[in-house]
Chains A and B, each alone.
Chain A
Amino acid sequence: MPETRLLFRHIDEPGLSSIDVYRKLGGYRTLDKAFKELEPEEVLAELENSGLRGRGGAGFSMGKKGSFLPRGEMEKYLCCNADESEPGAFKDRELMTKNPHQLIEGCAIAALAVDATYAFIFIRGEYWEVADILDRAVAEAYEAGYLGRNILGTGKRVELVVHRGAGAYICGEETALLDALEGKRGNPRLKPPFPAIQGLYGGPTLINNVETLSNVPHIVRNGADWYRRFGTEESTGTKVVSVSGHVERPGNYEIELGISSREIIYGLAGGPLEGRRVKAWFPGGSSAPVLTEDDLDLPYTFEALAKAGSMLGSGSIIVADETVSIPELALRTARFYHHESCGKCTPCREGTNWTVKMLERVVNGMGTPMDLDIISSVQENIIGHCLCVLGDSMAMPVGSMVQKFRGEFEAALEGVRVAA
């Protein structure tokens, strides 16, 4: 099955990042309609009915989240989470680099829907080129009257600011993002209160991922019913999937949710390198529990992957073939989260630290058979006990690797003993 391109429809059009080309292809017409003809409630209802689920990882209904924001006089905010930092994820980068105006249009319409005057795109510091592109695009949009004090003469106001992060994975966590945006150290906040009630500067705040917001113009233009035609009942629409690792054609593919995972990995990405087989794959970024070759026929949907004990997450598939040592993969994964743990809560701070130490010993042949049980137990002690999901993001994949490939870990211990 080929790709189903909504967000990527014109992605390879030369010059799409400029406002002229974007407009020529129909861009900003939805914004025009939304600002001139639609009530915020109508826009929000359309988004809610579309079934669009957040594309950043949690998969929460975007429209529902928007409806949680209280109405009233207080200042409300929209934040676009462009802190795409998860190993394996690179879809937002392409969406922003090649089609920044689609995102800006989405941000403006979403801001309208929740009555937010100020909108921010929080982009990871390492995406400096992308941020430059966004800056240019935002300037063009201001120039053209799609942003600012009086959008298209309607008297409605949306200000959009591109803010560059300083390079911490944790700032992709929505509340840490808010702290960072406020100029503080980017540490997660305790929830509740959720950002929809008390977010940026204490005001109600809608936070969504780049891909989620890029969907907004399409849904508002074509209607919720049209959008629901794509995907499954619980996972509507399309999804940009970043495929990386041991495949012939790594890259971003926009698929209709519900096609089989095998179709993505083998069909679109060309499957493993010649003569190799899929040993393990992360279906939704490095924080998703790994699946094996046996799971390749799972439909690529939020619900099917959750049922299989993993998650669709940000839609980043990382494929590992049989040349990969799972203990080393576990260590590599754990090191990332250990490095990125903010240190605010105990289980994540100490659990990631301890896990890395144990895995290092296992990989270096200094481990003991007891270590495997302790590693598993430590992962269990992290999951569900942390302030945010960063701890779980290590514990789930690492735990799944020890569980599914325990033999390989034992062999790593045994191999060293034999060699000695």
Chain B
Amino acid sequence: MSADRQQITLVVDGVEVEASEGAMLVDAAKGGDVEIPVFCYEPKLGPPVGACRMCLVEVEGIPKLQTACSTPVRDGMVVYTQTERVREAQESVVEFLLVNHPLDCPVCDKGGECPLQDIAMGWGPGRSRFTDPKRHFRKPVPLSPLVRIDRERCILCYRCVRFSQEVAEDEQLQLLERGAASYVGTYDDRPYIAPFHGNVIELCPVGALTSEAYRFRARPWDIEDAGSICTLCPSQCNVKFTVRDERVARVLARDNAEVDDGWLCDKGRFGFQMVSSAERIAEPRVAGSPADWATAVRTAAARLRDAGASTAAIVGGQATNEEGYLVQRILRRALGSQHVDSRPGGRLHAELAIGLSQPELSAPVRALDEAEAVLVVGCDPLHAMPILDLRLRKAIRRSGTRVVVASERPTALDGGAEEAARYAPGEAGAFLAALSRELASDAMPIEDDPHRADAEQIAGELRPGSTVIVWGERIGHGADGQRALEALLSCARALRCEDPAGGLIEVPDDANGRGLREVGCLPRLGPGLAETDEGMDIAEIREALTSGELDAVVLFEVDPVRELPDGPAWREALRTARTVIAVSMFDNGSTEYADVVLPAEAYAEKEGTVTHPDGRVQRLRATVPHFGDVRLGWHWLVELSALLGEETGIDSVLETLEALAAEVPFYAGLTHDEIGGRGVRWQERDAAAAFPASAGDGAASPEADSTKAVSDGIDREVLAEASGEPAPPPPAGANGALRLGTYRDLWATEVTDRNPALRFLGPRQTLELAVSDGERLGLADGDEVEVRSNGTSVRARVDLRERMRPGAAFLIEGTAADNANALAAARTVEVARIGPEAE
């Protein structure tokens, strides 16, 4: 619709301006270098509302002044923004807005970067005729633990309310009362707690909504903006760090419609405090004692040289492509070890890794705005990649996209979805197999397939050729993972995801999951997903460390005890390992066992690139100096490599990128200049043609016959497997056993613990059960229980939920206490109440 808009010409203040037809006048006028002042207008929030009346201008042929924010331009339109009439109207609106505004700019956080100040100066009358008392409120009061509201400063532009109602759809913010007594608030004065609510601070055109973490910390003339990428989750939102005195003081969105649409989640917005946290590891340690870098790196080199090919490395999601590349290069080239992994979920088969990443199958985030249908499978974007949640809400609201969800656990998108199907924990493969059978025109459905009815419903909502599948990497975890990914691939073929309006978007487990895979942090796939000799995956590394088969492990920005499945076993493995080298920002359950601890850079300190889940290579810029004695990650990795006898010849972060691009054929020729501030999707570059051909796919071409052959082939495989495999065990036994699923909660991460502002959000372990299971087991909301399996147990509080599949139980992974990863290997659990009588 927007692509083929006609170019038209209009006249603004006597100057001819080119614009696309239907653009709003306020935007079109910018082309003629004419600024029309606005307060309420913000295209990110949806259609204009025309509430503030600031942008009144004269349009020839229309007797009344028009709001430029809501007037679409037409060819030949003649507009005046500087006439006496317009000036009077705009001055009067400024005068009205200031009637109740306290004009306390000298003590206001917004002062100096305040649209109201700027517009009052530029378009206001300069003096007020208002002499009566202004309205008063108690101020500033907390709107939430993170945001304060000063209702006297508020000009009632509705932006924050629209955000809450129409973008985040948390529907908590309201305009209360009416007329001049209106004020922004929540029902019953409850705190506004929602995962995206920090955006209202940035939307506020005055100093009414201020950040608890930034209030009174800086004035605009004290600060510098530094653009980078937030790598706290796979969303990889583009951000601006506000830097004062060499510290990050604030995070703002750096709008990039291709990535984040200009929004941030609260984790990204408030997660910066840890960058300058006093709890950070400030200097290297060897055997528990502080050491200088030279000693530490030399020690690490010596230990690794001893271990040689018996070394493994695990790379965490915060690592950049450059760091990941160097780690795997050291392992593979200097130590001759293939045991490097970055995926918590087990081995990824080469043909699936390649098949699912085919450039033509890969959809850009933007595709979500235009697709007719979106299938969200095996993830809840709100927790796994929050900004996608907003993007999908936007697609539903503004484009009428049909979103369907298939997942183990209820998702935040269920309410807006056309259909939401639940399968039992671990049954993504069976479900997707059923779905692919429904989608394949000639495949025979299996009559007694328990997933058939759901799959049929979901399939009915999907539109071949215009469906984007958003899938969680987690469906590939575990024993059933391979089958799930095979079935996913055949669904993608059946839905013609290779067509321009369709595609796949993977939600990886970790922030730079995609980039780390592509630069070679996988056991059997080297840089560029080129096949290498077999190596161990994460679970095998753990076992081999415990058994003594492996001697050393490098933990690069990963805390297996907290973040990987089977935490207690990891503790054991690290205790047993002869050498543990940990690179970490903070001390944690894993650094405890480290022989050498090297301080990691924070994301705001890093230079390098990361790859967005949709293939966009983005650049991290160092925005603040290093904390303490922290050093550039790529730099000491290069040094370590040299000490191990592998001279890289790399002397800068750019050369690291060049070296990795030389080995990743589809990154070939990437430079910092090309990546720029907005990133570049590698699928859209010529080098994409060098992506390895899909194994089952004679050629990478989406030619009809071969596509069909693949989908048929996989279908038969899946069918054979499905019919050969016994039906999954009944969901809940008479003894009360439940099938356990685990999930990553948005807030169950170290980020929450390390940022004082966010700490209140850290979740307690919660056992989610279907209401019917709660009744069956005699459990009520809030009951304290012990969840047991194979002699291990975790304490949790019961939360009975609607839309849960009976027989399923969910615990949170990665909590600071009672981490569900103690039970992750378990398939069924028992639940026992810890009542007062039991204690």
Contact = CB atoms under 8 A, between A and B. Distances in A.
Is B one of A's binding partners? yes
A350 B99 contact: yes
A288 interface: no
A309 interface: no
Nearest to A339: B179
B351 to A, nearest CB: 47
Interface in B40-68: 47-54, 56, 64-65, 67
A157 B50 CA distance: 37
A190 B49 contact: yes
Interface residues of B, number: 36
Contacts of B179: 338-343, 349, 352-353
B216 interface: no
A344 B88 contact: no
Interface in B163-199: 174-175, 177-182
B169 to A, nearest CB: 14
Interface in B129-149: 129-130, 132
A190 B53 contact: no
Contacts of A189: 49
Interface stretch (B10-18, B90-98, B507-515, B534-542): B90-98
Contacts of B95: 381
Contacts of A342: 178-179, 182
Contact of B89 (A168, A349, A370, A385): A385
A357 B49 CA distance: 28
Interface in A353-391: 353-354, 357-358, 361, 370, 374, 377, 381, 384-387
B156 interface: yes
B591 to A, nearest CB: 53
Nearest to B98: A350
B51 A385 contact: no
B270 interface: no
Given A351-B96, A385-B92, A345 B50 contact: yes
B584 interface: no
A154 interface: no
Contacts of A346: 51-54, 93, 96-97, 155-156
Given A342-B179, A374-B129, A384 B64 contact: yes
A29 interface: no
A399 interface: no
Nearest to A366: B132
Given A341-B180, A385-B56, A385-B92, A353 B158 contact: no
A361 B50 CA distance: 32
A185 interface: yes
B407 interface: no
Interface in A316-360: 338-347, 349-354, 357-358
B694 interface: no
Contacts of B155: 346
A343 B178 contact: yes
Contacts of A347: 53, 92-93, 96
A306 B93 CA distance: 27
Contacts of B174: 185
Contacts, number: 96
B56 A343 contact: no
Contacts of B158: 344
Contact of B53 (A168, A354, A357, A387): A387
Nearest to B90: A385
A189 B92 CA distance: 22
B772 interface: no
A345 B175 CA distance: 13
A190 B95 CA distance: 22
A345 B51 contact: yes
B130 A354 contact: yes
Nearest to B179: A341
Nearest to A351: B96
A185 B89 CA distance: 28
Contact of B132 (A349, A351, A354, A377): A354
B100 interface: yes
Contacts of A170: 178
A386 B180 contact: no
B620 to A, nearest CB: 41
B457 interface: no
Main secondary structure of the interface of A (DSSP, over half): helix
Given A350-B99, A353-B99, A343 B89 contact: no
B70 interface: yes
Contact of B50 (A190, A338, A357, A358): A190
A385 B99 contact: no
Contact of B180 (A168, A353, A370, A377): A353
Contacts of A381: 88-89, 92, 95-96
B97 A350 contact: yes
Contacts of A358: 132
Nearest to A341: B179
Contacts of B47: 190
Given A346-B96, A350-B100, A374-B129, A386 B178 contact: no
A377 B91 CA distance: 12
Nearest to B183: A343
A43 B67 CA distance: 37
Contacts of A377: 129
A351 to B, nearest CB: 6
Nearest to B165: A184
Contacts of A361: 132
Interface string B21-56: 000000000000000000000000001111111101
A338 B180 contact: yes
Contacts of B100: 350, 353
B181 A343 contact: yes
Interface centre among A346, A358, A361, A384, by most B CB within 10 Å?
A346
Contacts of A370: 129
B96 A343 contact: no
A185 B93 contact: no
Nearest to B64: A384
B175 A343 contact: yes
A338 B181 CA distance: 10
Given A350-B99, A350-B100, A343 B52 contact: no
Contacts of B177: 343
Interface string A276-301: 00000000000000000000000000
Interface centre among A168, A344, A361, A377, by most B CB within 10 Å?
A344
Interface in A241-270: none
Contacts of B89: 381, 385
A190 B48 contact: yes
Contact of A343 (B65, B67, B93, B156): B156
B102 to A, nearest CB: 14
A60 to B, nearest CB: 16
A350 B96 contact: yes
Nearest to B155: A346
27 contacts: A185-B175, A190-B48, A190-B49, A190-B70, A338-B180, A341-B179, A341-B180, A343-B156, A343-B181, A343-B182, A344-B158, A345-B50, A346-B54, A346-B93, A346-B97, A346-B155, A349-B182, A350-B96, A350-B97, A352-B179, A374-B129, A377-B129, A381-B88, A381-B92, A381-B96, A385-B56, A385-B92
Interface of B: 47-54, 56, 64-65, 67, 70, 88-89, 92-93, 95-97, 99-100, 129-130, 132, 155-156, 158, 174-175, 177-182
Nearest 5 A-B pairs (CB), nearest first? Answer: A381-B92, A353-B180, A343-B182, A341-B179, A350-B96
Given A346-B51, A346-B93, 16 more contacts: A185-B175, A190-B47, A338-B179, A341-B179, A342-B178, A344-B158, A345-B51, A346-B53, A347-B53, A349-B179, A354-B99, A361-B132, A384-B65, A385-B53, A386-B53, A387-B50
